Amino acid sequence: MVRRDIWLRTFTLVAIESGIIVLAVLLSLYWRYPEKYEDLLWGEGQQGFTKLLLTAGVCQLTFYLFDLYDLEIIHSLRELCRKILQALAASCFILAIIFYVIPTIQIGHIDTEDPTGAIGGVPSRTIVITLFLMIGWRVLSHWVLSHPGFGERVLIVGTDTSAVELAKAIMGNRNFGYRIVGFVSEDPSQVGKSLINPSVIGVVGQLNEIVNRERVDRVVVALSDRRGHLPVDQLLKLRLQGRAVIEEGTSLYERIMGKISVEMLRPSWIIFSGGSKRSRFWSVMHRLFNFVLAVIGIVVSFPIWVLTAIAIKLESPGPAFYKQERVGKNGNPFTIIKFRSMRLDAEKNGPVWAAKNDDRTTYVGRFIRKVRIDELPQLINVLRGEMSFVGPRPERPVFVEQLTELIPFYSQRHLVEPGLTGWAQVKYDYGASVEDALQKLQYDLYYIKNASLFFDIWIMLQTAKIVLFGRGR
């Protein structure tokens, strides 16, 4: 399972907030109609439970669309309040349309004395109550997760760059509930030195003593060079006595950041870390999933293909489709198909990186790139088995050759089929440089290690949200 603690935390959040929304509706209904409260909910033909689920479902759909269940991007109370207000306003708009079209599913619709009261009273009260309850709940949960007295107490073994990067990841994602008590070093002269705050609180030889004194729950080993430096005896003693969880720094970093740090990575970790096994059943189901979805996608989007091709031909001379060689699974080349978004002379001076606001794009090209319509013909590549819906984005051979020389483990991204979208595209903004390629590789490696049908569906839902709101490139 991918990022188990994230799924568990998100599921818990959704479950609790479903209860909050339902409670807000019930309180609003009682506030507006105290005399007929039970009749309006459970009276004959009312189907109160179904109506409550509908309201909660619509609200939580908008919460998802406004990133309120992405625990990594809410950084302030002001941002939280703004997003909750926006989501609730969108919920009211959607519910108002639903109630107008199907008035019988509205709670309180049979009130004959005040036929509009339920529309004007219950929803407005629900918004106010939900707003206060939701903000109060989120502030409380954030305070609990951020409070130094709660969560797991973490001790980091190591003081080099990888240890500091891990500490920054933990401190930047306090919602995971980890609290750093300090670092331990081999060098006694470093004791008391502040690397980023917290500081070095002891040496490796005092590991057992420090674990007892600081009530450490998790010892994380973050050493770039372990040969002759790993305190095997002390870690083994801690592990066998069950006094603390012992974990690799790369594993914890992966779980928190949703990517694999190339700087921390060693070949042995990839070999022995587990995951990445592809059973025959998984491969068949994955291929069937992609094939069926591609057929449906082509049929449903065909009118868009026709309109896009006409628009491209009207704006600039040349073909509507653009074909280019890319590197696929196991390094095998294939021809990718896209709608042309650039001028015909875009590469008259040779291959160059595509930029976010590339001046070589046409007016139609800018639009179809923004909403990802230019990617639609790649459904043909999916049908052929050359691509998948989800996977690392395929790159051109000339750039693959350059990046393989510059970036460690870059060739590993070709272990799976390239995709129309991917974990890197969801988590990292559009980029076209060696540094961007390095950042995306870390997400691609994470996807390859944790690939599953469920993870693919999650990435596709995230991609749909990005396209819907016009984010990304």
CA dihedral 359, 363, 367, 370 (to 10 degrees): 0
pLDDT digits (tens, 9 = 90+) for 136-159: 888 787 777 666 566 788 999 988
Phi, psi of 342 (to 5 degrees): -125, 170
pLDDT for the residue numbered 345: 67
pLDDT for the residue numbered 40: 64
Q: How far apart are CA 405 and CA 120, in angstroms?
A: 65
Q: How far apart are CA 198 and CA 214, in angstroms?
A: 13
pTM, to two decimals: 0.74
pLDDT for the residue numbered 278: 62
pLDDT for the residue numbered 358: 67
- Residue-by-residue DSSP string for 4-18: HHHHHHHHHHHHHHH
Q: How far apart are CA 319 and CA 439, in angstroms?
A: 34
pLDDT for the residue numbered 24: 86
pLDDT for the residue numbered 88: 84
Low-confidence ranges of the chain (pLDDT < 50): 1-2, 109-120, 275
The second-level CATH assignment, the architecture, of 152-257 is 3-Layer(aba) Sandwich (3.40)
CB count in 10 Å sphere of residue 380 = 16
pLDDT digits (tens, 9 = 90+) for 291-303: 999 999 999 999 9
Residue-range domain boundaries for the chain: 4-146, 152-257, 280-468
